[in-house]
Copies of this chain bind each other. A is one copy, B any other.
Amino acid sequence: MSNHHRGVEALERMMLIRAYEETLVDLHGRGRAAGTCTSVGQEAAAVGVVSALGPDDQILTNHRSAGHLLARGADPRRMLAEVTGKADGYCKGMSGSLHIAAKELGVILTSTIVGGELALATGVGLSRSMLGGDGIVTCFFGDGAACEGRFQESLNLAAVWNLPVLYVCENNQWQAFVHRKETTLADGVTAQAAALGVAAATVDGNDVEAVHAAAATAVETVRRTRRPYLLEARTYRLRGHFEPDDQSYVDPAELAHWRDRDPILLQRARLERDGLLSADEVLRMEGAVRRTMDEAVAFAEASPYPGFDQITAAVYA
């Protein structure tokens, strides 16, 4: 695929994620969806990493998962149905917004327990290492999750057992209502990885092409060495923690700084600067994204609620 094509495709995918999140915020504001953790501002990390994965690779994600799912090709209709608690959602409405898994896409075992993804990823890695194939496991987690002891435990076990896990820390500077600088003296999480024998790298998480390049190296390394690797993407949560959130606790200067580094603006500017994107193409993409989301809303609203028997239907195998 040409770089032009990939760059534009990445932009369009990021626009879709943004539109999805904004649609959800709007639905929530109108009382038609429960609250949600949006990934606004972090689209480049999701698209950059997921686009570097192969079809057999698996993904674990967390409460802020829409970007990862949509980057992996999830159907926004089924995602919105899930978030609104409808039977056609990926989890039959049983998950809501916080733990959407889509096994058919390899997006598995999503947990909203911060650190849950880290605890489960080693097991998925163990299956990959024992059951053959060259698939790898990608585990997305936040800088907050890295404060949970499971971070250390997971990396250490993956290192000592040679598990093919790509750890992707989306360091978005926030841990719910607490700024990262209140929670640790460490600049980032790579030194901890190194201390445990896990190779690690840091990348500008708002530059989708840089993320893609770093992820491609990381994925190739994990696939070849069958050993863990940690990629830290430095990014920023542009909206609040959980909708609605007035962000009154956020330093306006910091927010403004990162708004200027909005990954969608950055990629669009790069493509325009390089003559790879026309105004018409932007319009086309905006229209396509809008139509996709309109359809998704209609689909989700038309989808029925699950029957009450669903409460106990899938508790035991």
Contact = CB atoms under 8 A, between A and B. Distances in A.
Interface of A: 147-153, 156, 159-160, 182-186, 191-192, 194-197
- Which residue, of A152, A156, A186, has the highest number of chain B Cβ atoms within 10 A? A152
Contact of A152 (B149, B185, B194): B149
A148 B148 CA distance: 11
A186 B193 CA distance: 10
Nearest to A150: B149
A238 B151 CA distance: 32
A52 to B, nearest CB: 26
Nearest to A182: B160
Contacts of A191: 191, 194-195
B192 A186 contact: no
Contacts of A152: 149, 151-152, 192
A153 B149 CA distance: 6
Contacts of A156: 147, 183-186
Q: What 9 A-B pairs have minimum CB-CB distances, sorted nearest first? A: A149-B149, A185-B197, A191-B195, A152-B152, A192-B195, A149-B153, A159-B185, A195-B195, A149-B152
A271 to B, nearest CB: 38
A186 B182 contact: no
26 contacts: A147-B153, A148-B153, A149-B149, A149-B150, A149-B152, A149-B153, A151-B152, A152-B152, A152-B192, A156-B184, A156-B186, A159-B184, A159-B185, A160-B182, A160-B184, A160-B185, A184-B196, A184-B197, A185-B197, A186-B195, A186-B196, A191-B191, A191-B195, A192-B192, A192-B195, A192-B196
A96 to B, nearest CB: 28
A160 B196 CA distance: 21
Contacts of A185: 156, 159-160, 196-197
Nearest to A149: B149
Contacts of A184: 156, 159-160, 196-197
Contacts of A147: 153, 156
Contacts of A195: 186, 191-192, 194-195
Given A192-B192, A195-B195, 7 more contacts: A149-B150, A151-B152, A152-B192, A184-B197, A185-B197, A186-B197, A191-B191
A200 to B, nearest CB: 11
A197 B185 CA distance: 6
A216 to B, nearest CB: 25
A211 B147 CA distance: 31
Nearest to A115: B149
Contacts of A148: 149, 153
